[in-house]
Structure 1
Amino acid sequence: MKLNVMTNAVMNFLRDEEGASGIEYALVAAMVAIGIVTFVTPVREAIVTVFTQIQTELGNVGGGS
């Protein structure tokens, strides 16, 4: 009898899919975050480079006498 109770408990646990959607949402959110970080880092560096060039050129505008 105890074996049947244990077997039923294990089978019910294996059939239970509650919480699976929460894990799926967490995985999707993690993938989106990784994608954003991967995309934003090079874009940030490019923007910093452009603004540094602008700052350098503006500094050179009044420098020649």
Structure 2
Amino acid sequence: MKNTIQQFLREEDGVAAIEYGLLAGLIAVGIITAATTLGTDISSLFNKIATKLNGIAVN
């Protein structure tokens, strides 16, 4: 029984899986943050262009 517990404590497969899961989660958060920021910037840019085009069309 003692050998089984020691072997379980030395095994690192589960630890690696958890680390990969955390890494994937952090990458996903980074991608979501970047996409949100980029989407906001692009939306702002298109709104500026639309405003200028409306000003040209009215004149």
TM-score interval, smaller chain: 0.7 to 0.9
Q: Higher helix share goes to which structure?
A: 2
Q: How does 1:38-49 map to 2 (within 5 A)?
A: 38-49=33-44
How big is the alpha-carbon RMSD for the aligned residues of Structure 1 and Structure 2? 1.5
Q: Counterpart of 1:3?
A: none
What are the ranges of 5 or more consecutive residues in structure 2 without an aligned counterpart?
A: none
* TM-score scaled by length of structure 2: 0.77
Q: Distance in 1 between matches of 2:57 and 2:4?
A: 82
Q: Counterpart of 1:10?
A: 5
CA deviation string 1:21-54 (max 9, x = no partner) = 2222111111111112222222211110110111
Q: Counterpart of 2:45?
A: 50
1:31 is aligned, of 19, 26, 33, to 26
Aligned residue pair count:
59
Higher-Rg member (1/2) = 1
1:20 partner amino acid: V
* TM-score scaled by length of structure 1: 0.72
What are the ranges of 5 or more consecutive residues in structure 1 without an aligned counterpart?
A: 1-5
